[in-house]
Structure 1
Amino acid sequence: MGLAGAGHCLMMCGGLAGAIHHQQSKVANLSALLFYNAGRLSSYMIAGALVGLLSQAAISGFSPALLTLRFLAAFFLIALGCYLGGWWLGLSKLEHLGRPLWQRLAPYAGKLRQSNSLMSRYVAGMVWGWLPCGLVYSALSWSALSASPVNGALYMLAFGLGTLPAMLAFGWFSGALQSILKGQGFRQAMGVLMIVYGLWVAIIALRQALAFN
Structure 2
Amino acid sequence: MTMLDSFAALLMGLAGAGHCIMMCGGIAGAFGQSISTATLLVYNLGRITSYCIAGALVGYAASVLTLLMPDVLLILRFVAGLLLILLGLYLTGWWMVLRRLERLGTPFWRSLQPFAQRFRQSQQLPSIFGAGMLWGWLPCGLVYSALSWAALSGSASQGVWLMLMFGLGTLPAMFALGWFSKAIQSVLKSQGFRQAMGIIMIFYGVWVIQIALRQMSLFS
TM-score normalized with structure 2 length:
0.92
Distance 1:182 1:209 in 2: 39
User: How far apart are 1:53 and its partner, in Å?
Assistant: 0.4
What's 2:99 paired with?
92
Structure 1 range deviating more: 83-92 or 163-172: 163-172
What's 1:134 paired with?
141
Structure 1 range deviating more: 53-62 or 76-85: 53-62
What's 1:77 paired with?
84
User: How far apart are 1:67 and its partner, in Å?
Assistant: 1.3
Distance 1:109 1:62 in 2: 39
User: How far apart are 1:146 and its partner, in Å?
Assistant: 0.6
User: How far apart are 1:61 and its partner, in Å?
Assistant: 7.3
In structure 1, the gaps of 5 or more residues are none
Deviation string for 1:25-59 (max 9, x for gaps)?
xxx42111100000000000000000000110111
Given that 1:20 and 1:113 are in contact with CA atoms closer than 8 Å, whether structure 2 keeps it comes out as no
Given that 2:176 and 2:185 are in contact with CA atoms closer than 8 Å, whether structure 1 keeps it comes out as no
Q: Tell me the amino acid that sits aligned with residue 48 of structure 2.
A: L
2:181 is equivalent to residue 174 of structure 1: yes
Q: 1:15 aligns with which of 20, 26, 30?
A: 26
1:170 alignment partner, SS class: helix
2:129 is equivalent to residue 122 of structure 1: yes
Given that 1:80 and 1:194 are in contact with CA atoms closer than 8 Å, whether structure 2 keeps it comes out as yes
1:104 alignment partner, SS class: helix
TM-score normalized with structure 1 length:
0.95
Higher-helix-fraction structure: 2
Q: Tell me the amino acid that sits aligned with residue 122 of structure 2.
A: S
User: How far apart are 1:22 and its partner, in Å?
Assistant: 5.2
Runs of 4+ in 1 over 4 A off after TM superposition: none
Given that 1:102 and 1:130 are in contact with CA atoms closer than 8 Å, whether structure 2 keeps it comes out as yes
What's 2:17 paired with?
6
What's 2:5 paired with?
none
Q: 2:213 aligns with which of 200, 206, 213?
A: 206
- Give identity over the alignment, percent: 60
Distance 1:60 1:43 in 2: 26
Distance 2:197 2:164 in 1: 20
Q: 1:156 aligns with which of 163, 168, 171?
A: 163
**How many residues are aligned here?**
209
Distance 2:85 2:136 in 1: 23
In structure 2, the gaps of 5 or more residues are 1-11
